[in-house]
């Protein structure tokens, strides 16, 4: 089964957020951590703050664009906080 991710990273250096999509979150995180993307080169260290699993790349791209269109730090923080709250309730 293929799976695709939409994820949110936060720079521990300046607090800014990055929204992306990929098919291998572990490999993509390694590239960000190694500074192999424009964003991560100057923003490291980074923390993975949120991710969603989607069944197709087109759905992942659509969701990534939907999140980016909000252009709202409050919205990103809302997604992250609700996601963490749900994760804690499921423990």
Inform me whether the pLDDT recorded for 91 exceeds 80: no
pLDDT, one tens digit per residue, over 12-30 is 999 999 999 999 999 999 9
Q: What is the pLDDT of residue 85?
A: 84
**Residue-range domain boundaries for the chain:** 4-89
The 10s digit of each residue's pLDDT in 16-71 is 999 999 999 999 999 998 989 887 889 999 999 999 999 999 999 999 999 999 99
- What is the C-alpha to C-alpha distance for residues 16 and 8, in angstroms, rounded to an integer? 10
Q: Which CATH architecture has domain 4-89?
A: 3-Layer(aba) Sandwich (3.40)
pLDDT more than 90, % of the chain: 77
């Amino acid at each position: 089964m293929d799976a695709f991710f939409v994820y949110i990273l936060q720079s521990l250096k300046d607090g800014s957020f990055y929204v992306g999509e990929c098919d291998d979150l572990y490999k993509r995180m390694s590239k960000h951590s190694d500074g192999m993307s424009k964003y991560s080169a100057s923003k490291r260290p980074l923390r993975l703050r949120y991710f969603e699993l989607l069944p197709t790349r087109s759905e992942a791209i659509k969701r990534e664009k939907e999140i980016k269109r909000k252009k709202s730090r409050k919205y990103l923080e809302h997604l992250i906080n609700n996601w963490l709250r749900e994760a804690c309730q499921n423990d």
